[in-house]
Structure 1
Amino acid sequence: MAIDYHRLRSAAFAPLRHAYGPDDCILYALGVGAGLSEDPAIGDEVEYLYEERLKALPSMAAVIAYPGFWMRDAVHGIDWRRVVNGEMRMTLFRQLAVSGDVIGHSRVARVTDKGPRGGALVVTERSIVDAATGQPVARVDQVNLCRGDGGYSAGDAAQSDEALPPIPRAPERSPDDILVLPVSRNQAAIYRLTGDRNPLHIDPQSAKLAGLDAPILHGASMAGLAARAVMRTPPSAHAWVGGIDIRFTGMAYPGRAVAVELWRSPEATSFRCVEADSHRELAFGVAAWQSAGSMEA
């Protein structure tokens, strides 16, 4: 069963109400590896793990009001076993609070045919608003690479949307800093509890059927790991991350440490994630800083 462009673009998502609290923030932080490092430059990260002075990581927007692995439903015509996260683009309109009651409105915003060898790109846009006031909290654009579904349009341009503009790479100079972050063997298993139940991240048989050596780490968990690195060196005491764009370029595996290279400026921090031992690139992106004064969610 091939992708039906028009049916996929009109896929219906019911508004999803999500009340979350400190336990959810702590579970998310554990799922992105917080508290594992012994490097003094990273610290104990107790601010993400202890309810008495808890902070929510900005990348947690990825799991708030998340509609789940909806591509697994056969009605969409997607070869879900070969789907991987290609990009995430998160915009925060205010700092995330450690508890909230929100509503997520999701839709399929773009479907791009990259050809039989390139696969198809499916962009899910999620707008998150405060349930009481309707005020915007965050927007998340998730780009899934459907590796087995390219060529569905048979060259018909009316059935393929223009892809999103590319995420910029880091400056062509040496990084300002490099932080090596441990990744536990059970990090993907923990991250699944935030709502992403794609079996590629836990089941060896599913991973093998998808052409992978072993279950892989969630791309969104990698985004949280990068956010932790970025947060260690804000440009000012009151700056906060108002957006994170990340493109995933390689498969990351649980148990293999990640080195995060950082290029800093007052407005944004560019980053690149590589496997610490092999230096194989895993992801790159940019985090935009906002000045103090924006209202919290």
Structure 2
Amino acid sequence: MPIDYNRLKSTAFEPLRHAYGPDDCILYALGVGAGLSDDLTLGDEVEYLYEEKLKALPPMVSVIAYPGFWMRDEVHGIDWRRVVNGEQRMTMFRPLPVSGQIVSRSCVARITDKGERGGAIVVTERSLFDEVTDQLVARVDQVNVCRGDGGYSAGEPTKSDDALPPIPRPPKRRPDDTLVLPVSKNQAAIYRLTGDRNPLHIDPESAKLTGLSAPILHGASMAGLASRAVMKTPPSPDAFVCQIDIRFTGMAYPGRAVAVERWLSLGETNFRCLEADTGRELAFGLAAWKSDKPVGK
């Protein structure tokens, strides 16, 4: 059955509570490829893998109190086998601690009909709050491309929302540098343990049913990989990544290295991810930094 715009837009998400700790941070870091570089391109990254020195990677907010692959429920009318992650937009209001108690509140913020060939774009907005202080920790906009559901509005413009403003492409000049990061063959299998159980990322038969040659890497895992490259060069010792917006433009596959091109500027880093051996574009995006130093210090 086609998407029912009003029903999907009013989807009720229960608040989700998630207590996480160092083991969760380490599992997430492994799922985005931390510690794989033989040539130590990013150093040993022990700060993401060893509990005594641990730091949480900022895009881990994408998996904390995550509602899971909710589109698989047939009540939503979505052809879930053909859903892919189109974009991830994450805003962090403070550095993410290595343990905490989080409550998330989610809603379907936008549904945009791009026609039968373009699919339907569904944006799920999730706000993360510290359960103890009720302070806003982060906001995550997940942009899913429902490739089998375009044309649902049948010419009724009120059933199609405006799309989000586009994520800017990198500058046309040469990148300041390029970092080549390995991707393990089991990276998607590890990343699934953080909560995203879409079978496209593990089951060859499910992948073939959607026209893919093999299971693909999670877009959100690619976002974490890109963030590791971005964080290699902070603009100042007290800066933290406060925003990561990434658009996925190609399918990435486990076991194929990714080249991350970087354009560095004060307070921002533009980046682009390419399949290292072919140069095929996989994603591009923008990361922003903010000082964690108290005002007046």
Name the TM-score, length of structure 1 as normaliser: 0.98
Unaligned runs of 5+ in 1: none
Question: Residue 47 in 1 paired to residue 47 in 2?
Answer: yes
| 2:49 maps to amino acid | L
Secondary structure of 1:152's aligned partner: coil
What does residue 28 of structure 1 align with? 28
- Aligned mates of 2:46, 2:158 — CA distance in 1: 51
Measured against aligned partners, the alpha-carbon deviations of 1:21-40 in whole angstroms (never above 9, x if no partner) come to: 00000000000000000233
Question: Residue 173 in 1 paired to residue 173 in 2?
Answer: yes
Question: Residue 191 in 1 paired to residue 191 in 2?
Answer: yes
Please list, as runs of the form range in 1=range in 2, the aligned pairs for 1:120-139 lying within 5 A after superposition.
120-139=120-139
- Aligned mates of 1:218, 1:130 — CA distance in 2: 27
What value does the CA root-mean-square deviation take over the aligned residues? 0.9
Aligned length: 295
Measured against aligned partners, the alpha-carbon deviations of 1:189-237 in whole angstroms (never above 9, x if no partner) come to: 0000000000000000000001100000000000000000001111111
What does residue 78 of structure 1 align with? 78
Quote how far apart the aligned CAs of 1:41 are.
Answer: 3.4
- Aligned mates of 1:158, 1:80 — CA distance in 2: 24
Q: Is the 8 A contact 1:113 1:121 kept in 2?
A: yes
What does residue 61 of structure 2 align with? 61
- Aligned mates of 1:84, 1:63 — CA distance in 2: 16
Quote how far apart the aligned CAs of 1:120 are.
Answer: 0.3
What does residue 256 of structure 2 align with? 256
Q: Is the 8 A contact 1:95 1:294 kept in 2?
A: no
- Aligned mates of 2:163, 2:39 — CA distance in 1: 39
Secondary structure of 2:117's aligned partner: coil
Secondary structure of 1:138's aligned partner: strand
Measured against aligned partners, the alpha-carbon deviations of 1:140-199 in whole angstroms (never above 9, x if no partner) come to: 000000000000000110000000000001111111110000000000000000000000
What does residue 182 of structure 2 align with? 182
Quote how far apart the aligned CAs of 1:133 are.
Answer: 1.2
Of 4-13 and 32-41, deviating more is 32-41
- Aligned mates of 1:198, 1:119 — CA distance in 2: 18
- Aligned mates of 1:198, 1:49 — CA distance in 2: 26
- Aligned mates of 1:157, 1:50 — CA distance in 2: 52
Q: 1:206 to 1:220 in 2, by over 3 A?
A: same
Question: Residue 265 in 1 paired to residue 278 in 2?
Answer: no
- Aligned mates of 2:294, 2:164 — CA distance in 1: 28
Quote how far apart the aligned CAs of 1:80 are.
Answer: 0.2
Please list, as runs of the form range in 1=range in 2, the aligned pairs for 1:206-245 lying within 5 A after superposition.
206-245=206-245
> Which runs of 4 or more aligned residues in structure 1 lie more than 6 Å from their structure 2 counterparts after TM superposition?
none
Unaligned runs of 5+ in 2: none
Q: 1:277 to 1:142 in 2, by over 3 A?
A: same
Secondary structure of 1:64's aligned partner: coil
